[in-house]
Amino acid sequence: MELLYETPRYEDEEVVLTGYGLADVDDHLAGEDEETARRFGWWPKRSTAETVVAAFGVWAQDWATAGSTRTFAVRDRRTEALLGGCELRRHADKPCTVSYWTAVQQRRKGVATRALRLLLAYATDEGIVDIACDVAVDNVASRRVTEAGGFSRRPTPYTDPDGQAMVRYTLHGAQLPTT
């Protein structure tokens, strides 16, 4: 498949991280449910082919220009079918953050857990030592993913600007995986 951008390749026995291509637009859209739209804050809006193409363009641009995001497609290693995605985001004045999503048809198969592990290996290779992940208290699946990734939970929840109860997970230096 022709990709809009190339990434370093990270893989395990089941999944591989790559760039996204225009051939992914339909599958990316089909994998987005209300849960995804709510968790990423654009509900009641939903993605369209136009917004997905625009997002892929931003991600490609960020890879090309050392911008703030490093976004990977998560694929089945054997078939290259799109399973989800994950992202490392750099911030000017605070630790990098991670996020991830799994296509609705592919959930509860360990995809996000595998993807986060590979994303953290990429972060390690980039020399990043402090990583955070903000998760809604009621997002049990995402909390399990961060915990499986070795993150520690800050004891005190906080309320985000939308009134959502959140927990911050953090990961430091020596806890990061190596390749």
Nearest-Å Rg of the Cα atoms of the chain is 16
- Cβ distance 42 to 51 under 8 Å? no
151 phi/psi in degrees, rounded to 5: -70, 150
Exactly one of 120, 145, 167, 171 binds ligand COA (CB under 6 A); that residue is 145
CA end-to-end span of the chain = 26
- Give the x-and-dash track for 86-125 against ligand COA (CB under 6 A): -------------xxxx----xxxxxxx------------
**Side chain identity at 88, as an amino acid letter?**
L
Question: From CA 113, how far away is CA 135, in angstroms rounded?
Answer: 15
Q: Compare residues 3 and 141 and give the one whose CB is closer to ligand COA.
A: 141
Site membership for ligand COA, residue 22 (CB under 6 A): no
Q: Compare residues 46 and 144 and give the one whose CB is closer to ligand COA.
A: 144
Q: Compare residues 64 and 140 and give the one whose CB is closer to ligand COA.
A: 140
- Return the sign of the alpha-carbon dihedral for residues 64, 65, 66, 72: negative
Stretch that binds ligand COA, among 22-30, 89-97, 139-147, 162-170 (CB under 6 A): 139-147
Which positions lie near ligand COA, rule CB under 6 A? 35-36, 39, 99-102, 107-113, 135, 139-142, 144-145, 148
